[in-house]
Amino acid sequence: MRKRILYGLALLIVAALAIRLGVLVTRGSAGGPPGGGRPPVAVEIDSVRTGSIQEVRQFTGTVHPRNRYVVSPKISGRLVMIHKNIGDEVLRGELLAQLDDAEYEQSVREAEANLKIAQASLAEAESQRLLASQELDRVQQLKDRGFASASEYDAATMTHEAQESRLKLAHAQVDQREAALSSARIRLSYTRLTAPEPGFVGERFVDEGELLAPNAPVLSVVGIDEVFVRTTIVERDYGRLRIGQQAAVEVDAFPGRPFLGHVARIAPLLDETSRMAQMEVEVANEALDLKPGMFARVSVVLAERISARLVPSSAVVDRAGKPMVFLVDMEHKQVRQVPVEVGIMTSETAEILSPDITGVIVTLGQHLLADGSPVMLPGAAAANRSGGSRP
């Protein structure tokens, strides 16, 4: 009895499934397109238009100052004064820091005293040479008259030559003392650290009172009235970039505000590992808004068309390795597949070089289309969803 009940339930379930399957088949055949053809595909459309388009490449890099140098002493000494702090403006030749110069001033005074001694010795040597010259002339006259012997003449001549040598030695000593004085004054000037170029103090490395060794960094100065952005370019863009091309630089500190510049330098070689080359874009920075170290995005226009045939980039699809678009026959609600040649292409717009197409194109749903496929336009799809009709 129990088995019969189970068999009866099984038969009822099989019958219900068969009835349900028949209903689904009937509904599917009733809802298909007339004549059993392919159903229309719901698509999005847009129109072919004419306008301008630019091919823009974007690069990323870092802002660098026009010049940067570190102020450091050439001699050792104690730092007694720093006249500038971080952010202060620096003029060319302006005093930035001062070392203890007492020892070097003493060296200058000593060199000046030695020079005076040498000059006095020179004056004495000149006087002695003059006397020797006069004595030689007198003995020469006496010898000519027969009142002086040859030995007296020889002695006067030797004395004159000796005084000539002493005079030359005195001149050399003066030159030596003058050179020593110049060296002492140069070493004294090293105690004053001045700015060779204008700019702004970027860093301060030491404090007053520290004992500095030669070449110890004291301050860093950066010139930012003009900056440049250093970036890298890939090999496929290398041949399309030229020195002098206009560029726009944007930084996160000033969103939506481009800074205009130009390509100033392109490296004549590419790195063998990365296949990239360095490029520098110079930017005027009169307002001093751009600071070294900022992350920058550089945009360079590689190509531009003023009057081009344009379609949305989403309208161009790849079929068998060739770009295609689907033109819509608005009267018959069908599409025609057209091979195209694409020019400049951005993320939103594509330039069609050939053929000369016009009208309406499909921008969404191309993966379900073939040449001659029926389509359901956006207005008709909305009408079908609402259960009504739309002319």
What is the domain partition of the chain in residue ranges?
A: 34-53+307-386, 73-100+191-217, 102-189, 224-303
H or E stretch covering 22: helix 2-31
Alpha-carbon span 65 to 385, nearest angstrom: 62
- pLDDT score, position 23: 46
- pLDDT score, position 368: 87
Task: State the residue for tokens 């007339």.
Answer: 34
* DSSP β-bridge partners for residue 137: none
Q: Which of 110, 106, 123, 105 is nearest to 177 (CA)?
A: 110
- pLDDT score, position 351: 92
H or E stretch covering 31: helix 2-31
- pLDDT score, position 12: 65
Alpha-carbon span 109 to 371, nearest angstrom: 101
Q: Which of 227, 221, 219, 220 is nearest to 199 (CA)?
A: 221
Alpha-carbon span 63 to 23, nearest angstrom: 72
Q: Considering the domain 73-100+191-217 in this protein, what is its CATH number?
A: 2.40.50.100
Task: State the residue for tokens 């102020």.
Answer: 71
Model confidence, pTM: 0.65
85, HSE (Cβ side, Cα atoms, 13 Å): 0
Alpha-carbon span 66 to 221, nearest angstrom: 11
Q: Considering the domain 34-53+307-386 in this protein, what is its CATH number?
A: 2.40.420.20
- pLDDT score, position 132: 87
Q: What are phi and psi of 3, to 5 degrees?
A: -65, -40
H or E stretch covering 25: helix 2-31
Asked if CATH classification 2.40.30.170 holds for the domain at 224-303, the reply, yes or no, is: yes
pLDDT tens for the 391 residues of the chain, in order? 555 666 666 666 766 666 665 544 444 444 445 434 578 889 999 999 999 998 899 999 999 999 999 999 999 999 999 999 999 999 999 999 999 999 999 999 999 999 999 999 999 999 998 998 888 888 888 877 877 788 887 888 898 888 889 999 999 999 999 999 999 999 999 999 999 999 999 999 999 999 999 999 999 999 999 999 999 999 999 999 999 999 999 999 999 999 999 999 999 999 999 999 999 999 999 999 999 999 999 999 988 888 899 999 999 999 888 999 999 998 889 999 999 999 988 889 999 998 998 999 999 988 888 888 899 888 654 444 444 433 3
How many other C-beta atoms can be found within 10 angstroms of the C-beta atom of residue 371?
Answer: 12
- pLDDT score, position 31: 46
Can you tell me whether residue 309 is helix, strand or coil?
strand
| 150 in Cβ contact with 143 (< 8 Å) | yes
| 38 in Cβ contact with 373 (< 8 Å) | yes
* DSSP β-bridge partners for residue 5: none
Question: Which structure tokens are listed for 47?
Answer: 């129109």
